[in-house]
Amino acid sequence: MCSVEAHQQSDPLVGTVLDRRYEVQTPIATGGMSTVYRGLDTRLDRPVAVKVMDSRYAGDAHFLARFQREARAVARLSHPGLVAVYDQGGGGTAHQPPFLVMELIEGGTLRELLTERGPMPPHAVAAVLTPVLGGLAVAHRAGLVHRDIKPENVLISDGGDVKIADFGLVRAVAEAKITSTSVILGTAAYLSPEQVSTGDADPRSDVYAVGILTYELLSGVTPFTGDSALSVAYQRMDHDVRPPSTVIAGVPPEFDALVRRATARDPADRYADADAMSDDLHDIVAELGLPAFRVPAPRNSAQHLAATRVHSRQDPPTEMTPPPMPQPAHPPVPPRQLTRELTRDQDWAPVPDGSADYNEYPAAATRFAGIEMSEFYWAQQRAKRALAFWVIAVLTFTGLVAVAAWTLGSNIAALI
């Protein structure tokens, strides 16, 4: 029996119905604060995601009040780049911990996509950042700050939609004065300097996290490493984020500048909010002529595995239907590797065992969506040449029309 199945059978929530409406079917992911389950809204007969908070939050009146306020505030937001919040409940007793009911994204996380495919070319990065910044901009205008932007909280649907999840939870947990080592581990790489030093956060803190995210999408790694999560968090107090082009070749200077401004140590030097950063990204896309791109969902995602488990229980084999093929286990996670210079024409060499350097994520690849990185560069060059050809053709035609008009005007009297 695999560990996931064992955990599922030992989980007392699996099979229960919350608030006499939401059936808990199977776990998708577990973190320091909560567990996300695939569920079913039995009233509307639609699949949902149910985020159930840890039992230590049950009965905490201060946390529950903040949790309910944040859930109501996020539920009022509407944007294609935000995961919709449908309902919240629970928390009265330890037997019914607080929970959120959210839109179920059939796909996976940006972390899973990065693990599968490695760093992205600039136009794919822009395709991820555009909905992320759009969703954040709506929240910032409503006075909300996410506080925990990272690849795990960016979801990608099988249809290519990119959405942000988990608004408001970090603030509710922080005000409840309940900490978790795993929460710190999960966010250390993306915290802004002011979050590390004082715990304060505003829209510019989200901008900093998006800057780190942009760096990682382009290079495949985060900018700071160390021997502990605390060391990683404190490095941003004294060091600037270096340009991603120093890690991987082919990053345009415009993206270096975007990352540099978003990750400035002084909040006053950053973009004021997601709207301002989004405007700059839009200008960069237009200036570089980046093509549109549909972001692919990860193939081997926890959500897909959860859906397979649910469907296999709901559709037992019959005489007319052959039994389902056994699902392959997740591929083993490669060993953690040191960060070093990476080009688009080479893979990382494995790091010798025994290295003590802390690096959260596996090595990057030289292909994205099954295409060599260099192909994206030459496609852009061909597009530029085609544009130049048409500009010259239009100018030439306009000139010929002008000459013909001038000649006709000069000889109009003779013709009459």
Picking from 87, 94, 104, 103, the residue whose alpha carbon sits closest to that of residue 19 is 87
DSSP 293-351: -PPPPPSS-HHHHHHHHHHHHHS---SSSPPPPPPPPPPPPPPP-----B-TT-PPPPP
Q: What is the CB neighbour count within 10 angstroms for residue 355?
A: 12
Q: Which helix (H) or strand (E) holds 171?
A: helix 169-175
Distance CA 411, CA 180 (A): 88
Distance CA 191, CA 205 (A): 8
97, two tokens: 């911990």
Q: At what angle do helices 253-262 and 203-219 cross, to 10 degrees?
A: 150
Distance CA 416, CA 409 (A): 11
Q: Which helix (H) or strand (E) holds 14?
A: none
Q: Which residues contact 123 (CB under 8 A, 6 or more apart)?
A: 285, 290, 291, 292, 293, 376, 380
Q: Which helix (H) or strand (E) holds 405?
A: helix 373-410
47 forms beta bridges with: 40
Ramachandran region of residue 118, left (φ > 0), alpha (ψ -120 to 50) or beta? Answer: left
Residue 60 annotated as catalytic: no
Ramachandran region of residue 250, left (φ > 0), alpha (ψ -120 to 50) or beta? Answer: left
Specify whether the CB–CB gap between 350 and 335 falls below 8 A.
yes
Catalytic one of 11, 60, 148, 269: 148
Tell me, what amino acid is at 74?
Answer: V
Distance CA 408, CA 416 (A): 11
Annotated catalytic sites, by residue?
Answer: 148
